[in-house]
Amino acid sequence: MASISESTAEKVKRLRLELDQLRAKLAEAEAELNSQLEDVEAFEFRFEAHVGQLLDQLATLESEVNSYLTQIKLMRHEQSFAEQGAAFDPVEEQFRKTWQHIPETAESKPKPAPPPATQAQLKKIYRQLARQFHPDLAIDEADRQYRTNKMAAINDAYKAQSMVELMALAEELVEHQSRQQASPPPDQEMAQALQEEIERCRRRLRVIDNELQNLPNRSMVDLALKVKLAQREGRDLLAEMATELTRKIARKTAERDMLRSQFENL
């Protein structure tokens, strides 16, 4: 019986070591994925501020133009489209007039971010808590549910940029870990729990590896790379895109106004 007990104890020791190594690897992978996702989200915010709204505006104009064209075609059997069109300026002329009188609109400015030092501190404690409270590190189902709830609270606190809430969660983490260490399960139960935790960590690692491999396939990631390459050449690609879209909007606005006038006079 002594040899069996020693064998179980050795197994627990070996599994603990394997789990510690996996957790360290998982923490690095989680940090890498979170860092890349934060970069993508930051670029998406820049894209939306400079280009996204213009794309939406152009899409709306194109829809209106197509609608007027369809309605005009339906009414051509009653009146001559060519005769009606003679009373209006050509598209190029209306584009010129519209472009010269485009009202200057103040660019929407994003909400000011916290000072760099404060943001860095928030991000640091957030990542530490996210690694230590992650549900994949649970030792049983009850612990998993507890960690899931706390991860939601951590995410909410980080979105709210609340250092007070994050620090409170950090203190709670210390107490939670102390309670777990105070009443360790028997060796056989511990060995089983460790093995299950190892499998969860491995599954999570596979998921993260897959996400990291597929991240470059995102259109925004590809565009962000092009923006960086353009910056090295001294170009602002997003600004160039915004300028071109503004020109297209002006031209499409002139076309829409011309078609609307023609339609109203049919």
- Which residue ranges make up each domain of the chain? 11-102+114-264
Mean pLDDT check: name the lowest of 173-177, 198-202, 235-239: 173-177
pLDDT of 251? 93
pLDDT of 103? 52
pTM: predicted TM-score of the whole model, two decimal places: 0.47
pLDDT of 177? 65
Helix H, strand E, coil C: the string for the chain is: CHHHHHHHHHHHHHHHHHHHHHHHHHHHHHHHHHHHHHHHHHHHHHHHHHHHHHHHHHHHHHHHHHHHHHHHHHHCCCCCHHHHHCCCCCHHHHHHHHHHCCCCCCCCCCCCCCCHHHHHHHHHHHHHHHHHHCHHHCCCHHHHHHHHHHHHHHHHHHHCCCHHHHHHHHHHHHHHHHHHHHCCCCHHHHHHHHHHHHHHHHHHHHHHHHHHHHHHHCHHHHHHHHHHHHHHCCCCHHHHHHHHHHHHHHHHHHHHHHHHHHHHCC
pLDDT in tens, 98-138: 555 545 454 555 545 445 446 777 787 888 888 777 777 77
pLDDT of 253? 92
Mean pLDDT check: name the lowest of 13-17, 99-103, 152-156, 220-224: 99-103
Percent of the chain at pLDDT > 70 equals 76
**Whether the predicted pLDDT of 7 surpasses 80:** no
Range 20-27 average pLDDT: 90
**Whether the predicted pLDDT of 82 surpasses 50:** no
pLDDT of 170? 80
Range 132-160 average pLDDT: 79
Higher pLDDT, 264 or 76: 264
pLDDT in tens, 183-211: 555 677 888 888 888 999 999 999 999 98
Mean pLDDT check: name the lowest of 83-87, 147-151, 232-236: 83-87
